[in-house]
Structure 1
Amino acid sequence: MQPILRFLGQQPYEEVFKAMQAFALNRNPLAADELWIVEHSPVYTLGLNGKQEHVLDPGDIPVIRTDRGGQVTYHGPGQLILYALIDTKHHSMAARQMVTLLEQAIIHTLSQYGIDANAKPEAPGVYIDDKKIGSIGLRIKNNCSYHGLSLNNRMDLSPFTRINPCGYAGLTVTQLADFGVDITTQELAIPVAHFISEALTS
């Protein structure tokens, strides 16, 4: 069964976060997987074990504690967010396999635009010449994954300088626009979602 693809537009982070939690808590084992495509209003999110010290100078951007893995990251308009609400038991996927799937979806998509990217086993996410372009953060509860990936498309990257992205001081971030790619975030979502869907149904 193909996952259901939902385009949510631009939404406040907290509302979607609560909706994901409710989905995982109340999920029917027979329900289809879902992929939620969204952009968020500016927000910093801090992972379950995230350290406040990595939030250097948030200014007027809210900082929200969440229950995904990982440290602190930034979300804002022009960044693709794909939340993967997947029945991990049905697909026999452990957390690390889910992370790898999301990383490969980003890497494969970037390759279609002529961009060579890679993952790092010691630091989940996707990188181009040591600059981070994609982040992964997951939670698995009741055999259902939620949260997912973020991929920088065409956005204001300056808020990343006010944190230690993913807990790494001095980590530089980049985006598709820096490589001359000019597409909408919704267009970018299609190959990412297609790769994940194909992997889950193959």
Structure 2
Amino acid sequence: MDLWTVHLGRVPYSEALALQQRVRAARQADTIPDTLLTLEHDPVYTRGRRSDPAELPFPEAYYAERGIEVVDVDRGGKVTYHGPGQLVAYPIVRVGDVMGFVEQLETLMVDALAEEGIAARGRAHEGRDFTGVWVGDRKIGSIGLHISHGVTMHGLSINVDGDLDPFTWIVACGLGDVAMTSVLEQTGRAGRLDCVRKRVAHGLAGALDHRQRLVTPRALERALSATPSTVG
């Protein structure tokens, strides 16, 4: 089976969310195979279903002044930040064992970081608040999913060489004492996003036992045009 991998570049969050919904509808209808969207976002805080208002301690105007949008989403998890220099990957795939899939995502993220010389670890087994990938006691990668009719949406992010300051203006991931890190902070090397992106895509294809097929955004759009727009 194929895993379609579509690299979108830098995309506003609302635009990427709408595309995810269309891709999931197509996957639910079996008009496309499992699909991975990779991208970067404009600066945005997203609040998951378990978020508490206290996780954003400043007024939204404070964040708006800094060019950061605030969006409520239906994924699992709490508040997090996305921005340039961070890899975001949205696997829109059929799954049976959700926690098993989360652990697969952690493993492929750990493997991708190991190729950068970073010793990271997954912590989903320690409880859902610790889901993601960590370097020591610092978090470098996050996971948040939503499952509908057996198909995932949302996904993972890895801090590569973006600005980490926006994480300090929130209670990141609902953990008051969490500190974030990045590939750049750990290795001193910038410009590694494309390499990490390719390793994550390759790792997901392997985890799903799929053959990776690179698909352009235009080709994806042509496939989606044949699918009803209903989302679930």
TM-score range, shorter-chain basis?
over 0.9
Q: Following the alignment from structure 2 to structure 1, what is the Cα–Cα distance between the partners of residues 50 and 18?
A: 19
Correspondent of 2:106 among 103, 107, 117: 103
In 1, are the aligned partners of 2:113 and 2:196 still within 8 Å (CA)?
no
| Structure richer in helix, relative to its length | 2
In 2, are the aligned partners of 1:80 and 1:151 still within 8 Å (CA)?
yes
Which letter maps to 1:55? L
Correspondent of 1:175 among 167, 172, 182: 182
Instruction: Identify the residue that residue 143 of structure 1 maps to in structure 2.
Output: 150
Correspondent of 1:196 among 201, 204, 229: 204
Which letter maps to 1:180? G
1:86 aligns with 2:96: no
Q: CA deviation at 1:30?
A: 5.4
Q: CA deviation at 1:182?
A: 2.9
Could you list the runs of 4 or more consecutive aligned residues of structure 1 that deviate by over 6 angstroms after TM superposition? none
SS of 2:50's equivalent? coil
Question: 5 Å matches for 1:1-202?
Answer: 1-27=1-27, 28-29=29-30, 31-57=32-58, 59-60=63-64, 61-88=68-95, 93-120=96-123, 121=125, 122=127, 123-178=130-185, 179-201=187-209
* Closer, same or farther: CA 107–128 of 1 in aligned 2, 3 Å: same
Q: CA deviation at 1:114?
A: 1.3
Work out the percentage of aligned pairs sharing the same amino acid. Answer: 36
Which letter maps to 1:194? H
TM-score by length of 1: 0.93
Q: Following the alignment from structure 1 to structure 2, what is the Cα–Cα distance between the partners of residues 129 and 184?
A: 21
SS of 2:119's equivalent? coil
In 2, are the aligned partners of 1:25 and 1:141 still within 8 Å (CA)?
no
1:62-85 per-position Cα deviation (integer Å, ceiling 9, x unaligned): 110001000000000000000001
1:115-157 per-position Cα deviation (integer Å, ceiling 9, x unaligned): 1111112210000011000000001112110111000000110
TM-score by length of 2: 0.82
Q: Following the alignment from structure 2 to structure 1, what is the Cα–Cα distance between the partners of residues 46 and 9?
A: 19
Larger Rg: 2
Q: Let me know the Cα RMSD of the aligned residues.
A: 1.4
1:10-68 per-position Cα deviation (integer Å, ceiling 9, x unaligned): 00001111221222234322521111010000000000221121012352121100010
SS of 1:183's equivalent? coil
Q: Following the alignment from structure 2 to structure 1, what is the Cα–Cα distance between the partners of residues 206 and 2?
A: 8
SS of 2:2's equivalent? coil
Q: Which runs of 5+ in 1 are unaligned?
A: none
- The number of aligned residues is 198
Which letter maps to 1:37? T
Which letter maps to 2:63? G
Q: Following the alignment from structure 1 to structure 2, what is the Cα–Cα distance between the partners of residues 22 and 52?
A: 29
Which letter maps to 2:193? T
Which letter maps to 2:191? I
Which letter maps to 1:199? A
